[in-house]
Structure 1
């Protein structure tokens, strides 16, 4: 039966960790509990006069040419977002839905493959559950990884995670994010374990899980904060800005995709993990900022090779690589056979 099975040409999965965009508000560290004290942070535009600082080609390194280039100002218009002069703390808030149905494709045109896939996933769940993955997702909520550049250099970072039921908080956890190691996903404390247990129950379909995550970052009055930057594909050179920041209803925000990327930065099961640290779960272990794919097909550690071995060749991967395959299915995506 296994020898006759082939990968479905249409195969897609919906994500099971579904974050919203994260909005920015400003306030004072001492007034975290006071809802009215938090004011939306808007996007502002500014124009600056810079200097030529890029690496020059050899032909342009002549002193006369360089002087002539520097005489021309490098004018830029950019978006910025800052805390007001009377606020020292940034609040970043988003919600996270945890959905059941991992391993059940949203689209699959091969009934035999679907049956085999669900059988393999069920076997994994019976043997391992979602505990290991959920603990790692919980750790990335607790350590504030989703803050990205806003976390760097902060004096204090406090993360509050509340379980929402009927529009109100029914359970909550508070974490000192800077006390938690971004690389130490394998040593969760008791609160992280409790949060991980709830996420695992949501992935298993045992209960409905909706979380509200609020991070308070003490940066200093008037300090710059860092929403997501927009990728402008259709540029108008007359109105072009060097940097365009993301905003939702005139409030600075982080893309939901960027929040999701931070939460799934749990892959420590690849060969160079000890030196590099956790990377986001991706089929080929791709990290664009490194210009590297850490799970090359020739190493037989990429998602597609592991999945095909597991489903089609009945070669069960190691437990660590099973975790990776399940994490990719939780991530979601389109994984059909290439045409």
Structure 2
């Protein structure tokens, strides 16, 4: 039986409102893009050297008998890995993917508490009336324009051009961005094209059931035959398989995971407490309930500091005002991300 009190629903879920495809990788030339060739993965067999840190017992043994270390070094560190690169007649990576931006944020996809559902809808509609998703949409648009989604492929690129087409039954517009001129450290870039892209994103997010489809095609001048970086697959039984590094592909086309592209798109959180501290800030982080940054092994939004999503959401969704406007943006961005947020009734 559904609850009738005003506590958080035990069944509560939100569908993601930014739905990304995988990213497909092609090779071409910067000056002549008439030919786009799908990039394929290549398998390499390599012999590496021993370079890992040894245990203390091993160090002590090597100190007593240096020949033991020589024996270790002579042992071949054989590896089979996937790699991907442009051909000799290509100097440019082309990455293509699409983003569907959906409306309907005021309605959870699942909620078993009628009172909570109504109080949340009031809060969400109040946010839409007050802010209209303008701030969030501008940040999403900036992350498209600055090609943050390239990740490692962005490093060392001489030129980066991002082409975006926005389409639905009423809109058919396109923009071109020079990603090298748009910062990935902040969201203050002044660009009329970013403003226009943000406007169509905001309209879709604020709608009840509308959508906009964004088609993204990015060209990256990397250099002839240079290596490119698709997503790497998670190998759970590392050491038992045939290869120590497995890259992602779709129908033999090198690709990037939709999750990796989505993570880049929602890297908009500059509202966490450490952001303004030069010693602790790591720049914008991805929207997460606890501000988790896995490669650093750190959560930047903890319940102890009352800066996590649930602390804000539980109060805000019941009609309470948050202390900062930025906290409202963070809550709504987490709901755009989607997820299951029910509270156990045990």
Instruction: Please give the range of the TM-score, normalised by the shorter of the 2 chains.
Output: over 0.9
User: Does the aligned pair in 1 maintain the 2:5–2:116 contact within 8 Å?
Assistant: no
Report SS of the residue matched to 1:230: coil
After superposition, residues 308-319 of structure 1 pair within 5 angstroms as 308-312=314-318, 314-319=320-325
Alignment gaps of 5+ in structure 2: none
**The one of 198, 201, 206 aligned to 2:200:** 198
| Counterpart pick for 2:92 among 89, 106, 109 | 89
User: Is the deviation greater in 313-322 or in 176-185?
Assistant: 313-322
Are the structure 2 counterparts of residues 235 and 272 from structure 1 closer, same or farther at C-alpha, using a change threshold of 3 Å? closer
CA distance in 2, matches of 1:234, 1:12: 32
| Alignment-derived partner of residue 71 in structure 1 | 74
- Mapped partners of 1:118, 1:187: distance in 2: 33
8 Å contact kept, 2:120–2:319: no
What is the CA–CA distance in structure 2 between the aligned matches of 1:263 and 1:181, rounded to whole Å? 14
2-structure distance, mates of 1:39, 1:284: 41
Pick which of 65-74 and 3-12 moved more: 3-12
Contact 2:14 2:109 in 1 (8 A): yes
Is 1:151 equivalent to 2:151 in the alignment?
A: no
Offset of 1:164 from its aligned partner? 3.0
Alignment match, 1:189: 191
Please say if residues 285 and 293 of structure 2, whose CA atoms lie closer than 8 Å, have aligned partners that are also in contact.
yes
For residues 58-100 of structure 1, the C-alpha deviation after alignment (integer angstroms, 9 at most, x for no partner) is 2212123221111101000000010011100000000110000
On the 8 A contact 2:5/2:115 being kept in 1, the answer is no
Q: Distance in 2 between matches of 1:173 and 1:315?
A: 38
Partner of 1:263: 265
The correspondence for 2:309, drawn from 303, 306, 321, is 303
Moved more, 281-290 or 177-186: 177-186
TM normalised by structure 2 equals 0.92
Does the 8 Å CA contact 1:267/1:280 hold for their aligned counterparts? yes
Greater mean alpha carbon deviation, residues 280-289 or residues 308-317: 308-317
CA distance in 2, matches of 1:236, 1:143: 38
2:48 corresponding residue in structure 1: 50
Cα distance in 2, alignment partners of residues 106 and 226 from structure 1: 36
1:179 aligns with 2:177: no
| Residue correspondences, number | 331
Q: 2:254 aligns with which of 237, 247, 252?
A: 252
> What runs of 5+ residues in structure 1 fail to find an aligned partner?
none
SS of 2:273 mapped into structure 1 = coil
After superposition, residues 1-339 of structure 1 pair within 5 angstroms as: 4-32=5-33, 34=34, 37-61=35-59, 62=62, 63-165=66-168, 170-205=172-207, 207-234=210-237, 237=240, 239-274=241-276, 275-312=281-318, 314-338=320-344
Deviations 1:261-307 (A, max 9, x none): 00000000011113321000000000011111000111111000001
Q: Is the 8 A contact 2:205 2:211 kept in 1?
A: no
CA distance in 2 between counterparts of 1:59 and 1:153 reads 41
What's the RMSD between the two structures over aligned residues?
A: 1.7
**Distance (Å, rounded) in 1 between the aligned partners of 2:126 and 2:112:** 22
Q: What is the DSSP-based 3-state SS (H/G/I as helix, E as strand, rest coil) of the residue aligned with 2:105? A: coil
Judge conservation of contact 2:238–2:244 (CA < 8 Å) in 1. no
Query: Contact 1:7/1:113 (CA < 8 Å) preserved in 2?
Result: yes
